[in-house]
Amino acid sequence: MTLQPVLPWWLMMPLMAAAGLFLGCRLVVAWHARAARGQDSGREFREWLFRSALVLMLLAAALRPGVPGGGGRAATADLNVFFVVDTSSSIVAEDYGNGSPRLDGVRQDIMAIADGLAGARFSLLTFDSNAVVRMPLTTDTSALDTAVAVLQPQVTAYSKGSSITAAGKLLTERLQSARTSHPERPRLVYYLGDGEQTSASAPGAIGVDGGLVNGGAVLGYGTQGGGRMKENTGHGPGRDARAGYIQDSTSGTGSDALSVIDEGRLQWIAGQLGVPYVHRAAGDAVAPMMQAANPGELQRAPADTGLEGRMELYWIFALGAFLPALRESFWLLRHWRRLPAARPSRGIARPAAEARK
């Protein structure tokens, strides 16, 4: 049997200790009162026994006990998936499919991966001149869909060049945090970009410890012929639709700048992360991308890594807590209904006392 608590152990342990100490003290006090005062206090002792059973059942359910088993799809619920997206100006180069921006392909692939790993926890990081967490880990795919739908490239006027490894430090921090809070959950990284280095300096290593990454892929977008890039004025989609194209300031001809994919650098990043590189074009099937990322291989990892499928047992304890909770709710409701009956008597007593004055 394995445990996968709903909260990190550093929160669960103090919570369990505090609950155990409080309930133990109440039971001891009620037991001594029963011995000293008799039957009425015996009823109080029984009440605390029921409450203790309720709390212990809920704590046991919160530990999420389980045994090995179940299908591979169930195991995806124990994955943490990080999408790292290049949002520099080149991500809207119009060489994806029939002249569409690369960002369209990025959006489609992110949601296809999320659908293939249903139940996993997803996080979205973006980078251009700076790296930003757009969405922390969550199982809410609607939130992911919204975050991806509103992705836009960096405002052109603010662009001063970007590095393809700019997200390395932030990604490392998020991976380390995920490993600390839930070490049993594999961590997949999907890096989506074109590999174009627009910073004046050469890219440094991405700097992510290989032990932090259990799988994923580097997904490349763009063509060797390149594509033009619409300016992002920062005034919203309606006005940006009429914006011009970014100009090539290096040629001196005033022509439109072209962004060209650099697959060599994308493969270099994939090697550092220990994941495969996959080029993506419009119309490419989802299955090859997922097979290359190989999340299914996590099912065959050693048993002590906690990567195989599990059969959840928490529902047994949740069901066991239902009857004590129902009994406690009934007791509280009955106690609450008695309160209004006591109030009028106090209200009548006050005028009588004032009359005697």
**What is the per-residue pLDDT across 20-33, written as a single tens digit (0 to 9) for each?**
888 888 878 877 77
Does residue 270 carry a pLDDT above 90? yes
Output the pLDDT for position 74: 42
φ/ψ (deg, to 5) at 33? -65, -35
Instruction: Of 18-22, 178-182, 290-294, give the lowest mean pLDDT range.
Output: 290-294
Does residue 341 carry a pLDDT above 60? no
Gap between the Cα atoms of 241 and 354, Å rounded? 80
Does residue 99 carry a pLDDT above 50? yes
Output the pLDDT for position 353: 47
Gap between the Cα atoms of 34 and 32, Å rounded? 5
Section 216-236 average pLDDT:
89
Q: Are strands 187-193 and 258-259 parallel, antiparallel or unpaired?
A: unpaired
Instruction: Look at the alpha carbons of 59, 60, 66, 71 in this order and tell me if their dihedral is positive or negative.
Output: negative
Instruction: Of 118-127, 270-279, 280-289, 303-312, give the lowest mean pLDDT range.
Output: 303-312
- Residue 81, CA atoms < 13 Å, CB-side half-sphere: 30
Higher pLDDT, 263 or 129: 263
DSSP string for 88-105: SGGGGBS-BTTTB-HHHH
Does residue 348 carry a pLDDT above 80? no
In this prediction the pTM is 0.63
Output the pLDDT for position 205: 93
Q: Token pair of 74, please? A: 């169930």
Does residue 311 carry a pLDDT above 80? no
Output the pLDDT for position 25: 86
Beta-ladder partners of 85: 126, 192
Output the pLDDT for position 220: 96
Instruction: Of 38-47, 125-134, 190-199, 223-232, give the lowest mean pLDDT range.
Output: 38-47
Gap between the Cα atoms of 75 and 79, Å rounded? 8
* Percent of the chain's residues with pLDDT above 90: 39
Residues 34/44, Cβ–Cβ less than 8 Å: yes
Higher pLDDT, 90 or 315: 90
Instruction: Of 68-82, 114-128, 213-227, 266-280, give the lowest mean pLDDT range.
Output: 68-82
Largest CA distance in the chain: 104
Amino acid present at 193: G
CA distances from 239 to 133, 150, 168 (A): 27, 15, 33
Does residue 143 carry a pLDDT above 80? yes
Closest CA to 109 of 93, 97, 127, 98: 97
Q: Token pair of 241, please? A: 């639709």
Average pLDDT taken over every residue of the chain: 81
Output the pLDDT for position 240: 57
Place 160 in a pLDDT band, splitting at 50, 70 and 90: confident
Gap between the Cα atoms of 35 and 313, Å rounded? 39
DSSP 8-state secondary structure symbol assigned to residue 222: -
Q: Token pair of 207, please? A: 């700097």
Higher pLDDT, 228 or 25: 228
Task: Give the torsion through C-alpha atoms of 25, 31, 37, 43, to 10 deg.
Answer: 100
Output the pLDDT for position 310: 55
Q: What angle do CA 78, 190, 307 make, to 5 degrees?
A: 25
* Percent of the chain's residues with pLDDT above 70: 79
* Highest mean predicted confidence (pLDDT) among 195-199, 212-216, 308-312, 325-329: 212-216
Section 300-316 average pLDDT:
54
Alpha helices in the chain (DSSP H): 9-37, 39-62, 72-75, 102-116, 141-149, 168-181, 237-240, 263-273, 286-293, 314-356
Parse the chain into domains and list their residue ranges: 2-69+311-356, 72-303
From edge to edge, which strands make up the β-sheet containing 80-86?
A: 131-138, 121-127, 80-86, 187-193, 215-221, 277-280
Does residue 357 carry a pLDDT above 70? no
Higher pLDDT, 308 or 14: 14
CATH topology of domain 72-303: Rossmann fold (3.40.50)
Closest CA to 267 of 344, 176, 164, 168: 164
DSSP 8-state secondary structure symbol assigned to residue 242: T
Task: Look at residue 193 and give its three-state secondary structure.
Answer: strand
Closest CA to 218 of 162, 142, 165, 163: 165
Output the pLDDT for position 295: 52
